């Protein structure tokens, strides 16, 4: 077990369900969908014409016009989410020693939108007119935590983890360990992503990974359902402020939850498909439970990776392998991707935050669109409607391409 206890004192969310924690949480409780037709480019010729876009993002509270030109949209999301998380945590100038304050924020694909636009502009305008002097710092992933650190005077550990759909969860888990071993007192951690563009949509369409339910976008993401046909690509950011317990208490901070355990491993099986039988996912969940010193029966809620693909059945099997009889008798599971879609590198950060909110508010968010559970998907997925229920432990799974896995375990606030 970790030598120093780590708690969550702030959340910052930018999602297709709303900008800010309150807006996103209200939509989750209501079972609302943030999926709609793509507006960021003309998707007429693409098989998938829907996405989870952040439609009401106005960066002026956090960024000036000149700064916007220096950042791809994924960095803008990260800066905004970090500011909101720090505000909720009550972190102001001087409240945290700069050298003990770090940032671990990653992305799965980084500045792909600006790369795409710049390459196209070079073809029509030439390199001298098309390429901004800010191009490189605007697209590289570590400028997300870099820009956040500049704004909040974070002179401690600063890294970007890049592990596909596990990125945000790995960032939170590694930040947890940084504080636990004494290398920092406060960390801003999670993921940010914005790749609703031709290259990303085209690539995932070519891989036959996206839903083509274009006529019913709000019903397109349907984890564990028999009629699911792929995931819905989304954008946004999910960041958490993690803090050493006594440091948080000394500041008088509101503690939302405690980070209890963290597991990470690899399937070493296939570049996109999970290992047969869910072996890698099972082992990852067991590692998180062992790290926390917690029995499986203590976990009351699990936010599943649940992407609305064939992998949902494998994750269900993995959950059964780990939790045994408890999987059918006492464990509530839901995939909130049914509402906000798949945020890729930001998914793990957002879903970790949702697990924290479920503990803090004693409300379990639903899996919407679960009309006909698939064969083998026979757990309590909190279908359609949120459920008022207090649980002590909540788990969040994130599994990515390359077989990379991360599981986070949270405990109700001490």
Which residues have a catalytic role annotated? Answer: 165, 305, 342
- Backbone φ and ψ of 310, nearest 5°: -60, -20
Residue found under tokens 């439609």? 55
Q: Which two tokens stand for residue 304?
A: 């599943």
- Name the 3-class secondary structure at 51: strand
Distance CA 215, CA 25 (A): 26
Q: Which residues contact 139 (CB under 8 A, 6 or more apart)?
A: 72, 110, 111, 112, 114, 115
- Torsion region of 259: left, alpha or beta (phi above 0 gives left; psi -120 to 50 gives alpha): beta
Place of tokens 């809620």: 301
Q: Which class for 286: exposed (0-12), middle (13-18), buried (19 or more C-beta within 10 A)?
A: middle
What is the DSSP secondary structure assignment for residue 20, as one 8-state letter?
Answer: S
Q: Collapsing DSSP states into helix, strand and coil, what is residue 317?
A: helix
H/E segment holding residue 180: helix 167-180
Return the closest-CA partner of residue 299 out of 262, 326, 265: 326
Two tokens, residue 85: 């998380």
User: Measured between alpha carbons, how far is 251 from 186 in angstroms, rounded to an integer?
Assistant: 12
As a whole number of angstroms, the distance between CA 257 and CA 267 comes to 30
Interacting residues of 292 by C-beta distance below 8 A, sequence separation 6+: 1, 260, 261, 393, 409, 411
Task: Give φ, ψ of 343 to 5 degrees.
Answer: -90, 15
The residues that bridge with 8 in the sheet, in sequence order, are: 242, 257
């Amino acid at each position: 077990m970790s030598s120093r206890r780590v708690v969550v004192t702030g959340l910052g969310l930018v999602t297709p369900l709303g900008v800010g924690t309150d807006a996103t949480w209200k939509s989750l409780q209501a079972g609302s969908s943030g999926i709609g037709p793509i507006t960021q480019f003309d998707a007429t010729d693409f098989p998938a014409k829907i996405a989870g876009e952040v439609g009401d993002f106005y960066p002026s509270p956090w960024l000036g016009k000149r700064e916007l030109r220096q950042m791809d949209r994924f960095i803008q999301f990260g800066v905004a989410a970090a500011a909101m998380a720090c505000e909720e945590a009550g972190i102001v100038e001087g409240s945290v020693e700069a050298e003990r304050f770090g940032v671990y924020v990653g992305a799965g694909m980084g500045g792909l939108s600006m790369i795409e636009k710049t390459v196209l502009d070079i073809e029509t305008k030439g390199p001298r007119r098309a390429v901004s002097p800010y191009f490189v710092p605007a697209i590289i992933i570590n400028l997300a935590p870099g820009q956040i650190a500049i704004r909040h005077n974070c002179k401690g550990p600063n890294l970007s983890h890049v592990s596909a759909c596990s990125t945000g969860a790995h960032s939170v888990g590694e930040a947890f360990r940084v504080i636990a071993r004494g290398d920092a007192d406060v960390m801003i951690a999670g993921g940010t992503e914005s790749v609703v563009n031709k290259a990303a949509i085209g690539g995932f369409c070519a891989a036959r990974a996206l839903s083509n339910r274009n006529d019913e976008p709000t019903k397109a993401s349907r984890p564990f359902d028999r009629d699911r046909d792929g995931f819905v690509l989304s954008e946004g950011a999910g960041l958490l402020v993690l803090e050493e317990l006594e440091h948080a208490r000394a500041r008088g901070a509101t503690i939302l939850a405690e980070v209890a355990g963290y597991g990470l491993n690899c399937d070493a099986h296939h570049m996109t498909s999970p290992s047969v039988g869910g072996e890698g996912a099972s082992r990852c969940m067991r590692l998180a439970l062992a790290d926390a010193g917690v029995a499986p029966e203590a976990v009351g809620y699990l936010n599943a990776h649940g992407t609305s693909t064939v992998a949902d059945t494998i994750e269900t099997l993995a959950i059964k392998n780990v939790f045994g009889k408890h999987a059918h008798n006492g464990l509530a599971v839901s995939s909130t991707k049914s509402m906000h879609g798949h945020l890729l590198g930001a998914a793990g950060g957002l879903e970790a935050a949702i697990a924290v909110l479920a503990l803090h508010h004693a409300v379990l968010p639903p899996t919407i669109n679960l009309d006909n559970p698939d064969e083998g998907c026979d757990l309590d997925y909190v279908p359609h409607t949120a459920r008022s229920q207090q649980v002590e432990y909540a788990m969040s799974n994130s599994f990515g391409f390359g077989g990379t896995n991360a599981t986070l375990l949270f405990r109700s606030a001490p």
